[in-house]
Structure 1
Amino acid sequence: RPESFLEGGRPLAFNDARYSGLSVGVPGTVRGWAEALRRYGSKKITLAQALAPAIAAARNGFTIDQAFFEQTQGNLDYFDDVPTTAALFLDPDGTPRDVGSVFRNPDLAKTYELISRDGANAFYTGEVANAIVQTVKAPPVAANANHRWRAGVMELTDLAGYTAPQRAPVRVRYRGLDVFGMGPPSSGGSTVGEALNILEGYDLASIPRERALHLYLEASRFAFADRSTYLADPDFVKVPLRGLLSKDFAAVRRGQIGENAARSPVPAGDPAPFQGSPVRAEFSLSSTRPGTTTHLTVSDAKGNVVSYTFTIESTGGAGLIAPGYGFLLNNELTDFNFDSTTHPNRVEGGKRPRSSMAPTIVLRQGKPLLALGSPGGSTIITTVLQILVDRLDLRRTLTDALAAPRASQRNTAAVAVEAGFPQIPEAPALRAREHVFGTPAEIGAATAIEFLAGRRVLAAAEPVRRGGGSALVLKPG
């Protein structure tokens, strides 16, 4: 319901909405796994075989690192309210499990075994579904909980009727390459695409690097203004995707970029003349709340490529675990707009909230050239965009593009920058162009693959961010 996150006519504070049953959407991951395997799998691997390593990892455990410890620490005040969550993530004294200790999750192994035996429907019907719905409708919090946990409205029919629809990707041409991304209800592909269309009008490779960075920030600023106004679930809203990705619309937005930073929030553009039909607009600010997401990029020996992003929204999700099944429930519904009952991204039953996922594949003459993606809330979009600009225009190597200090402009007064960004040689010139630097709660942490000449492949991951990523090439050649 559009008023789900309102009390007394006012939007709930984010944490009040997040740590509750209200924020939990139907988990889509399991259905997505099954559908991807059915549609695109080699038929040589069953769902049970695909889940076997995950079952072993859940049962045998992994060593807790500093990043995991800090993420748990950040949720401590809320995890401590929920006995089932505390039992999994905290020591008996109520503190996060120590760095270097082994984290095991036999309940999650049991859940995967049910899915392995009975398929995805074992998750969306029966005992698992019952546990999810009961947890959402009556969060199992301790009597002495530190916070008020609001009940949600999920029903068994919501789970049983969940589908994973196949949607067309968005595509833009950039410097003679085809850049494919995820379409609505994700805003990632279209926002990256619009920003690239804007930037294509500049010869970024031949201008001073500080001006190229300025233009990257401004293209992102203007694309985010349009994202915040128009992007939502296309099953509920007419999204002007053709107009937003039009080269002519990009030219209009490019003409609004000056030599100095614009004052945010800049208003959305009007894609209607480039869409073919009128589109109603309602402006809203971009969310800059942190989120937690996982991304992997993988290719097989035959050249098939997957860029895969999945998420429970915030680190720790809603803070609730379905008792006995070992997985955190998401807080995906906080991706809806709380403060408007008329915005395209307003809350509605059966509707998917707008996300920022931006799994991306770049083709050159029909062959894979790059594949990449990132976690990081709305900084996913700017992370992917910055890596593409660094690699394709500024001629950085892929590994250098991933390691470079990041800056994220999401139509806000300040550019969110990593600690190292103000020290780059171009920073004083950017300040002279009136860019203001601020510190983000987090920023994207990417993985990527580049396909080189001679059937060679370069796999790259973060060297430091979030404890560092993992990249590996097996059986090269």
Structure 2
Amino acid sequence: MSHSAARRVGRRRTLSYLSLTAVVAGALSLGAAPPPHGSPKPPVKTPVATGWGGAVASVDADASAAGIEVLRKGGNAVDAAVATAAALGVTEPYSSGLGGGGYFVYYDARTHRVHTLDGRETAPRTADKNLFVEDGKPLAFADAVTSGLSVGTPGTPATWDEALRSWGRKSTRDVLAPATRLARQGFTVDGTFRQQTADNAARFRDFPASAKLFLPGGEPPAVGTTLKNPDLARTYDELSRKGLRSLYGGALAQDIVRTATHPPLAPGSTRVARPGKLALADLRAYDVKHQAPTRTGYRGLDVYSIAPSSSGGTTVGEALNILENDKLGKLSQEQYLHHFIEASRIAFADRGRWVGDPSREDVPTRELLSQRFADSRACLIQDDAVLKSPLAPADPRRPGKGCAPAGKGVDTTYEGENTTHLTTADRWGNVVSYTLTIEQTGGSAITVPGRGFLLNNELTDFSFSQANPAVPDPNLPGPGKRPRSSISPTIVLDRHGEPVVALGSPGGATIITTVLQTLTGYVDRGLPLVDAIAAPRASQRNAAATELEPALYDSALRGRLEAIGHAFTQVPEIGAATGIERLKDGRWRAAAEPVRRGGGSAMVVTPTR
């Protein structure tokens, strides 16, 4: 499907999943950011905005406003992305921040090229495959999460620094200024923030710096109150003066290492917070990786994403290749979901066997993305039967002429779900799709004293042990190794190299299925972007049962899919995507999640009147 054809289909489609007409109509006139100064009361959240001069979509209105402020002052999409991310470190500290990492995908409008940065956290150089093994047995996940042992070298500050140096127009001080002001003045607590705080209150109470910041008066902050983070404001000021790389040396690096290796427990706490292995040498040695993006041709479009160490680009890409020969736009909703579920199951089976950190593992990225391999897997899908999980992987280097043989499969490794995604665009046509994380909601729960940010628990994304002795696991811990991720920041170009849509989502391993379902909804089913984002979701990750959101679980579709062999479990929500599309007349349309996780915020520099 061409770019123009996809747009025509999207315009004539009705809101086929959720009735969002009133929400969308109201948002068109409310998409601009408020003046940069004033009270800490946040801008109104709206899920879609259309206009000129650039756009930002994120989970938070204050963060989107920070990006718009930088765009209005002459910054480009890269500057706006860093400004938005830094503000999310204030308002979404349980999902992102200086103590985490992520993956940055950038489209350069001048060269029509896509670039990526791998800013994933790394394991200490002293780590080995038994990092999470104790007394001969893998640690319980909960014991590993809230510990220094789960803390990897943060990659986020280095990612911001590299992005600004490579493609930005503004200084570090300029792009951190909105977030610094927001941390100093405070932001208004909403229901989602309060609930996430309450869910982590027991962990936060065990660490004095976390309790002081997130539990004022000993309890989660009330909705409508203002939460300030003066320690983070001072940290941002320091990074503005000394540069973002200063986090990897000197006093700030020493504070991070001291906190990870000697978790500062509250007096009287009974928690066993295992010490980490992070060292100053690990921080000094950290590098962001410039690497080629993954590229998948789909319906005449080019789908670009992040290559390993994330599995996002290869797994979404393989699933799209599997679906390439299916006429998804003409299938019934039941058959569309069936094919989407089965393609996801197959792609996850191959992901588990083959994807890890390519600096430590032999990852067949090119072969995983070959159409020949996808065709050898697509023939497994039957219209009237369901594949059994865990499905065995196949060897992409030897796809053969027929369907891949059966064998032993492995279950999907658990990944924390509270990542965050942002998408930006500018007046020159540049686009950024950026997903960042500290892994679990609240990360390790350990705030660096005096610094105002939480440390990640990203190393728990490693496999704790080899699940199936017969199937090698490329995601076991190792020295300096990056744990496998499911982060899938995506940019889609037309055949002329012009941007069509960019998107991504939080959600741990469900990121892959969220991006896949949103893309196929937009491209194949003709849904407007905000509707594709809002559509009720399914997520199959090579498990016995497919997860469904309530709108699908309670529908007649579930019964019809169960009749051919599907099994389902209900979950409250899956993902919370944001995206931006380029319209034919040159305007940008930003779209964010309307409901999930409290809804997101789409803004443009100059709204359409």
317, 320, 327: which one pairs with 1:193?
Answer: 317
Are residues 1:470 and 2:601 paired? yes
Deviation at 1:185, TM superposition (A): 0.2
Are residues 1:397 and 2:531 paired? no
Q: Using the alignment, how far apart are the partners of 1:185 and 1:213 within structure 2?
A: 29
Are residues 1:264 and 2:389 paired? yes
Are residues 1:17 and 2:144 paired? yes
Q: Using the alignment, how far apart are the partners of 2:487 and 2:540 within structure 1?
A: 16
Gaps of 5+ in 2: 1-127, 401-406
488, 512, 518: which one pairs with 1:358?
Answer: 488
RMSD: 1.6
Task: State the match for 2:84 in structure 1.
Answer: none
Deviation at 1:474, TM superposition (A): 1.7
What CA deviation, in whole Å up to 9, does each residue of 1:87-138 have, x standing for no partner?
A: 111132x321111111110000111111100002321111110111001111
Task: State the match for 1:328 in structure 2.
Answer: 454
Instruction: Report if the CA contact (8 A) 2:157-2:245 is conserved.
Output: no
Q: Which has the higher contact order (CA 8 A, sep 6+)?
A: 2
Q: Using the alignment, how far apart are the partners of 1:195 and 1:464 within structure 2?
A: 27
Are residues 1:27 and 2:182 paired? no
Task: State the match for 2:242 in structure 1.
Answer: 118
Instruction: Report if the CA contact (8 A) 1:243-1:273 is conserved.
Output: no
Instruction: Report if the CA contact (8 A) 1:229-1:268 is conserved.
Output: yes
Alignment of 1:138-287 (within 5 A): 138-259=262-383, 260-273=385-398, 284-287=410-413
What CA deviation, in whole Å up to 9, does each residue of 1:335-367 have, x standing for no partner?
A: 111012962111111111001110000001210
Instruction: Report if the CA contact (8 A) 1:236-1:351 is conserved.
Output: yes
Are residues 1:64 and 2:189 paired? yes
Question: What secondary structure, in the 3-state scheme, does the structure 1 residue paired with 2:602 have?
Answer: coil
Are residues 1:438 and 2:564 paired? no
159, 175, 180: which one pairs with 1:50?
Answer: 175
Q: 1:167 to 1:428 in 2, by over 3 A?
A: same
69, 74, 85: which one pairs with 2:199?
Answer: 74
Instruction: Report if the CA contact (8 A) 2:414-2:461 is conserved.
Output: no
Deviation at 1:291, TM superposition (A): 2.1
Q: Using the alignment, how far apart are the partners of 2:557 and 2:466 within structure 1?
A: 40
Instruction: Report if the CA contact (8 A) 1:66-1:99 is conserved.
Output: yes
Q: 1:441 to 1:397 in 2, by over 3 A?
A: closer
Q: 1:178 to 1:471 in 2, by over 3 A?
A: same
Question: What secondary structure, in the 3-state scheme, does the structure 1 residue paired with 2:339 have?
Answer: helix
What CA deviation, in whole Å up to 9, does each residue of 1:261-290 have, x standing for no partner?
A: 211111111112259xxxxx9953212444
Q: Which amino acid aligns with 2:584?
A: A
Gaps of 5+ in 1: 276-280
Q: What stretches of structure 1 move > 6 A for 4+ residues in a row?
A: none
Question: TM-score, structure 1 length as denominator?
Answer: 0.95
Identity of aligned residues (%): 51
Task: State the match for 2:500 in structure 1.
Answer: 369
Task: State the match for 2:431 in structure 1.
Answer: 305
Question: What secondary structure, in the 3-state scheme, does the structure 2 residue paired with 1:171 have?
Answer: strand
Q: Using the alignment, how far apart are the partners of 1:327 and 1:334 within structure 2?
A: 19
Q: Which amino acid aligns with 2:273?
A: W
Q: Using the alignment, how far apart are the partners of 2:570 and 2:557 within structure 1?
A: 18
Q: Which segment drifts farther, 79-88 or 255-264?
A: 255-264
Are residues 1:101 and 2:225 paired? yes
What CA deviation, in whole Å up to 9, does each residue of 1:275-316 have, x standing for no partner?
A: 9xxxxx995321244421111011001110000100001110
Task: State the match for 2:580 in structure 1.
Answer: 449
Q: Using the alignment, how far apart are the partners of 1:433 and 1:394 within structure 2?
A: 23
Q: Which amino acid aligns with 1:320?
A: I
Instruction: Report if the CA contact (8 A) 2:311-2:355 is conserved.
Output: yes
Q: Which amino acid aligns with 2:537?
A: R
Q: Using the alignment, how far apart are the partners of 1:213 and 1:353 within structure 2?
A: 30
Instruction: Report if the CA contact (8 A) 1:386-1:406 is conserved.
Output: yes
Q: Which amino acid aligns with 1:349?
A: P
Are residues 1:345 and 2:458 paired? no
Question: What secondary structure, in the 3-state scheme, does the structure 2 residue paired with 1:310 have?
Answer: strand
Deviation at 1:476, TM superposition (A): 5.3
Q: Using the alignment, how far apart are the partners of 2:545 and 2:298 within structure 1?
A: 28
Task: State the match for 2:590 in structure 1.
Answer: 459
Q: Which amino acid aligns with 2:180?
A: I
Q: 1:302 to 1:425 in 2, by over 3 A?
A: farther
Deviation at 1:443, TM superposition (A): 1.7
Deviation at 1:425, TM superposition (A): 4.7
Q: Which amino acid aligns with 2:136?
A: G
Q: Using the alignment, how far apart are the partners of 1:475 and 1:74 within structure 2?
A: 39
Instruction: Report if the CA contact (8 A) 1:296-1:373 is conserved.
Output: yes
Q: Using the alignment, how far apart are the partners of 2:171 and 2:216 within structure 1?
A: 37
Q: Using the alignment, how far apart are the partners of 1:419 and 1:128 within structure 2?
A: 45
Instruction: Report if the CA contact (8 A) 1:243-1:274 is conserved.
Output: no
Deviation at 1:475, TM superposition (A): 2.2
Q: Using the alignment, how far apart are the partners of 2:224 and 2:432 within structure 1?
A: 32
Are residues 1:315 and 2:441 paired? yes
Instruction: Report if the CA contact (8 A) 2:299-2:324 is conserved.
Output: yes
Corresponding pairs, count: 469
Task: State the match for 1:278 in structure 2.
Answer: none
Instruction: Report if the CA contact (8 A) 1:136-1:151 is conserved.
Output: yes
Task: State the match for 2:32 in structure 1.
Answer: none
Question: What secondary structure, in the 3-state scheme, does the structure 1 residue paired with 2:297 have?
Answer: strand
Are residues 1:384 and 2:511 paired? no
What CA deviation, in whole Å up to 9, does each residue of 1:184-217 have, x standing for no partner?
A: 0001111000000000011111122210110001
Q: Using the alignment, how far apart are the partners of 1:55 and 1:261 within structure 2?
A: 52
Instruction: Report if the CA contact (8 A) 2:391-2:410 is conserved.
Output: no
Deviation at 1:435, TM superposition (A): 1.7
What CA deviation, in whole Å up to 9, does each residue of 1:418-465 have, x standing for no partner?
A: 111123453332122222221337521000111121112221111110
What CA deviation, in whole Å up to 9, does each residue of 1:141-164 have, x standing for no partner?
A: 023214211001111011111111
Q: Using the alignment, how far apart are the partners of 1:262 and 1:146 within structure 2?
A: 46
Question: What secondary structure, in the 3-state scheme, does the structure 2 residue paired with 1:297 have?
Answer: strand
Question: TM-score, structure 2 length as denominator?
Answer: 0.75
Q: Which amino acid aligns with 1:84?
A: A
